Amino acid sequence: MLFIILVAFIVFIFGASIGSFISASIYRMRKKETIMGRSYCPKCGYKLAFFDLFPLFSFIFLRGKCRKCKEIIDWSNFIIEFVLGIIFVFSFFYRWIYAPDADAFSWVILRDWTMLGGLSFLFIYDLKYKLLPDKITLPLIVILFILNVFIGINILNILLAIGIGAGFFLLQYLISGGKWIGDGDIRLGAVLGAGLGFPQIISALLIAYIFGAVYGLILIVRKKAKMKSEVAFGTFLAVGGVIALFFGNKIISWYLGLMGY
């Protein structure tokens, strides 16, 4: 039991560290800065020392304020670190239980963490700026494709999923002349296809559209949006991708059972 707690703690800190890196990278990418430089306070420019960079703990110790200027640190950083830590722990133990052997576990967990980190970045970036940067989506397609090949997923299966994910949005983009969706959604569809394969890509798209429709209806009912209001749909695709990553097959089985198949 103690070993499991220790492993969970280490994985949690690793996930939280990825969350911290994502938060800093989003800010720097938006400012068109390099993501490899030292972290600094966006208010006063103070370059953070090593002991200021411990995910979650530094925020708590500093009481959510910059060590130098005492300005409040954005709470979203803390939330992102905490959520990524929890998700990484869940993915680790989920694959630990269901992976057939240690070698398969290693490749699958690497694929999962890569996809979770990438989708988290895209979720936050699209939520904040309504953009899905090519600097993230394009490398992510290639990396996830390679990892799934090493896992043993058939290349044709992955290509089919990429074609479905990207083609589904490409068709909408062409029909509407870019009014219904942005071209970034096409590449995010390809990301989901490369990471999930077929038929899990279908689950991801279904979940994304259900969540998006419910969210849109809530906004319309509360009179905070209209039928033609722009929605950051990449956020729903990211959520759909995460859910389908772990439960895609079960969702498809449930749906087929519901339909009598």
d(C-alpha 38, C-alpha 48), whole Å: 7
| CA 6 – CA 213 distance, rounded (Å) | 41
Amino acid type, 215:
Y
Confidence label for 18 from pLDDT (cuts 50, 70 and 90): very high
Q: What is the mean pLDDT of residues 235-245?
A: 93
pLDDT at 48: 65
Confidence class for position 38, pLDDT limits 50, 70, 90: low
Give the pLDDT of residue 4: 87
Handedness of CA 197, 203, 206, 210 (dihedral sign): negative
pLDDT digits (tens, 9 = 90+) for 53-71: 677 777 777 676 766 676 6
Of the given ranges (99-103, 159-163, 178-182), which has the lowest mean pLDDT? Answer: 99-103
First to last CA, the chain: 42
Query: What's the pLDDT band for 1 if we cut at 50, 70, 90?
Result: confident
Taking each helix axis from N to C end, the angle separating 102-129 and 134-151, rounded to the nearest 10 degrees, works out to 160
- The percentage of residues in the chain with a pLDDT greater than 70, rounded to a whole number, is 80
Q: What share of the chain is helix, strand, coil (3-state, %, to 5)?
A: 75, 0, 25
**150 vs 54, higher pLDDT:** 150
pLDDT for 46 equals: 58
Average pLDDT of span 137-155: 94
In this structure, is the dihedral angle defined by the CA atoms of residues 153, 156, 157 and 158, taken in order, positive or negative? positive
